[in-house]
Structure 1
Amino acid sequence: METALEGQTVVVIGRPSGIARAVTLAALAEGAHVVVAGRDRVKLAAAYEDEGVRAEEVDVTVDESIEALAERLGPIEHLVTTASARARGRLGELEREDLRKSFDTKVIGPVMLAKHFAQRLTRSFTLFSGVAAFKPAVGFLGVAITNGAADFLTRSLSLELAPVRVNAISPGVIDTGIWDSMGEEGKQAYFEHFRTHNPARRIGTPGDIASAVVFAMTNPFLTGVTLRVDGGEPLT
């Protein structure tokens, strides 16, 4: 039985862990040829050595790096970028450079990816927003405005790149290594709060997000949409 992405090339930009890894493995399971790309090509190659995935180097904040990747890869069916740089903190703690880096990575970066892959991309482009765009909270101002811009960018690019489909995924609280800096006790308390308050009554997994990405890549009538895979968190 033919799988959903059989024989198609999927490029996944991001770290070799968490959501990006889950997306890579999900695409492989659907029969895709997957190329992973990020700032550290050696680290990526080592992480996917057992899967035989091709690793490439790209920095989404550098136009020449994006253009070079597009030229090396040639025609592809799907492009996914999970790259982010979060500007967390209350208003008094935010620095201009952190905000610039956040926008450069998650908003301007995808714009430049779209620009340089426009003539090579044939089916879909998936980028990431986030729950902070739909449920602002103190301490997440920089994250919220970045994700909000990514949400609007999705709709704009769906018109610019048509008939290539452009969609975004907006995760809620997902159990990845990003929370490890809180310490085990802090992390578990944080997770417990969200688990007991969101309507899904659980914390999301990278697999939940990867499934949504595969759906976005394979549904031929879905474009200009942000899929909110957040356990209903903004409702609370």
Structure 2
Amino acid sequence: MVKSSLEGRTVLVIGRASGIARAVALAARAEGAEVVVAGRDPDKLAAAYEGEEVRAEHVDVTVDESIEALASRLGSLDHLVTTASARARGLLPELERDALRQSFDTKVIGPVMLAKHFAPRFTEGGSFTLFSGVAAFKPAVGYLGVAITNGAADFLARSLALELAPVRVNAISPGVIDTGIWDALGEEGKQQYFEHFRTHNPARRIGTAEDIADAVLFVMTNPFLTGVTLRVDGGEPLT
């Protein structure tokens, strides 16, 4: 029997206890990885993964000391995935400097600091996966803050691929994905929003967290893939 390329490997997934981060963690665990999940509320993470043989740790990607402490506790690892984000949505007149700073701090500067502190801890064949997003490739009114943050994350993946080599660095760029993030629109509003994208994108469907998790597993385990932003968006930027 051929072993999975993740079997026995240590995978760190940073993010919430739900949605994409959870799908990635469970997919990696199903492939035999030793999974560590980390976020600002490790107790909530531990409760969410109860019974899944997943270890929960604390980290705040906007605090360097927190990142350094996590790296010290974990020692070596094989793969790091960060899904952490703070979205600065809104029209230009509504955008606040603090929201933009938080967005960049979480999704761009945070990964830079993760790379800095974890760089010497990656094992041979290790990888670092971060997240961009469809707004980087298809700007839309009301998403300026999201677009420039994701654009920076996209470029960061390529820059880190050179800086961290031979550790592989890639980014995932999701389109509209059915996670709890859209629940704030209300059930009717959410369905209308999804219907618009479902009927306009070439894939004719809304993405799932599992679609993204499959993509993350691919970039983690393909040993000749680095410096790439993998767009898993149903072809939305084409429309």
CA deviation after TM superposition for structure 1 residue 208, in Å:
0.2
How much has 1:49 moved relative to structure 2? 1.1
Cα distance in 1 for partners of 2:155, 2:4 equals 32
Tell me the amino acid that sits aligned with residue 40 of structure 1.
D
- Find the residue that maps to 1:88 and give its secondary structure: coil
**Mapped partners of 1:4, 1:199: distance in 2:** 32
What's the CA shift for 1:69? 0.1
Identical aligned residues as a percent: 84
Equivalent residue letter for 2:119: A
Shift of 1:3: 1.7
Quote the residue 1:115 is aligned against.
116
CA distance in 2 between counterparts of 1:56 and 1:213 reads: 21
Structure 1 partner of 2:231: 228
Q: State the 4+ residue runs in structure 1 displaced beyond 3 angstroms.
A: none
User: Which amino acid counterpart does residue 31 of structure 1 have in structure 2?
Assistant: G
TM-score of the two chains, using structure 2 as the length reference:
0.98
Equivalent in the alignment of 1:42: 43
1:115-194 alignment to 2 at 5 Å?
A: 115-122=116-123, 123-194=126-197
1:200 aligns with 2:203: yes
- Give the Cα–Cα distance (whole angstroms) in 2 for the partners of residues 57 and 139 of structure 1: 33
CA distance in 2, matches of 1:3, 1:166: 20
Q: For residue 61 of structure 2, what is the amino acid of its counterpart?
A: V
CA–CA distance in structure 2, aligned partners of residues 202 and 48 of structure 1:
29
Partner of 2:100: 99
Deviation of 1:66 after TM superposition, in Å, equals: 0.1
Q: Secondary structure at the match of 2:203?
A: coil
Q: Secondary structure at the match of 2:224?
A: coil
Structure 2 segments unaligned to the other structure (5+ residues): none
Letter of the structure 1 residue corresponding to residue 233 of structure 2? D
Q: Deviations over 1:83-122 (max 9, x none)?
A: 0000000000000000000000000000000000010013
Q: Give the whole-Å Cα distance in 2 for the aligned partners of 1:73 and 1:224.
A: 25
**How many residues are treated as equivalent by the alignment?**
236
**Structure 1: how far apart are the matches of 2:49 and 2:160?**
31
1:4 CA drift (Å): 2.6
Give the whole-Å Cα distance in 2 for the aligned partners of 1:105 and 1:20. Answer: 15
